[in-house]
A and B are shown apart, each in its own frame.
Chain A
Amino acid sequence: MSTDFQKTNAKAIPSTRTVAVNEADHMPHDYSTTPGGTLFSTTPGGTRIIYDRKFLLECRSSPLARTPPRGLPTIPGVTSPPTKEPNAKAVNGELLNNNSIVAPETSNAEMFKANNQLKEFKCF
């Protein structure tokens, strides 16, 4: 292996570049994208981890993001259906906050209206 490190052509990572925007149509659609594209998901030197909304939403469909979290407390009406009735559980499985499944808002909202009285929960 060579130890000759003097011939390297490495350059510093550019921190910014300038992109002229003359028309409103040329502005990026997403709020977190800069004109000309977003250069880094990490800032130069790796000082800060930045994600835009679109990327975060894409991560939601990853299998890693779909398993139930370890140690999720059971809070009726918050992390689990408000009642233990058999038909309540059948509504849309367990996914309470999952926008990607068809119309969970409607079914959950109706379920919650029907069960207006939240049961008390215990801490720890």
Chain B
Amino acid sequence: MNNKFDALKDDDSGDHEQDQGSPKDSEKEKIEDDDKEQIIIKKKMVVPGAGEHPLQYNYTFWYSRRTPGRPASTQSYEQNIKQIGSFASVEQFWRFYSHMIRPGDLTGHSDFHLFKEGIKPMWEDDANKMGGKWIIRLRKGLASRCWENLILAMLGEQFMVGEEICGAVVSVRFQEDIISIWNKTASDQATTARIRDTLRRVLNLPPNTIMEYKTHTDSIKAWEDFHGLVNASGGR
């Protein structure tokens, strides 16, 4: 795919047709992304303040929302994802978190992403491209509590898998919500098993909860197959 932002689109709901832009749009978005990368690089790395509790890693909050109907072409990415901010300490985390709406109260087709600083919440990021994610589908009403428990476990280094964790996502959808945690190496079964077991422990999930592991290469392939199919049949 030549539009890396497509990776941000939900790969679980199967209604990607809303999001197609023309190749021209993709080019424009690419240029905007280059500009954006430079802005991010220029920003100083955030550090813990005096008297604050440092975290093992710095993290960045992101928010994305699918615009209803077809996106207004060139702006589709800009309207789709936004950095909320980065933090380096427990206290800085709470400052952001306490000024954000709870995921269960979000409207529409929205996601919060919390990734280590420097890792974009995209399949193609160097840290993610060999990786995958555990996915847990939640009935409505559970997302806020599960998301909080998930990110507190991640920030507090409860997963004990070294450098493997990349970030976490909560996706608000119409019928259900989805939380996921991404790691670097999908083929590392000891790591993925440990992440699964930690998730069970920290989220207090009902015993019948289904947990699914999906590699990002599978996600990319599914996305490309889907779009190949759409284009072959005339597309939009």
Show the binding face of A for B, using Cβ within 8 Å. Answer: 31-32, 48-53, 55-57, 59-60, 62, 64-73, 75, 77-79, 94-98, 105, 108-109, 112, 116, 118, 120-124
Contact = CB atoms under 8 A, between A and B. Distances in A.
A79 B49 contact: no
19 contacts: A31-B202, A32-B153, A49-B54, A49-B56, A49-B157, A50-B156, A51-B90, A53-B153, A55-B156, A59-B90, A59-B91, A78-B110, A79-B84, A79-B100, A97-B99, A105-B144, A118-B107, A120-B67, A123-B82
A122 B201 CA distance: 39
A78 to B, nearest CB: 5
Interface residues of B, number: 49
A112 B99 contact: no
B232 interface: no
Interface of B: 36, 39, 49, 51-56, 63, 65, 67, 78-79, 81-85, 87, 90-102, 104-108, 110, 144, 149, 152-153, 155-158, 201-202
Given A48-B56, A56-B90, A64-B51, A108 B155 contact: no
Nearest to B83: A73
A77 B92 CA distance: 21
Contact of B106 (A62, A78, A121, A124): A78
Interface residues of A: mostly helix, strand, loop or mixed?
loop
Contact of A53 (B87, B97, B149): B149
A68 B95 contact: yes
Nearest to A68: B99
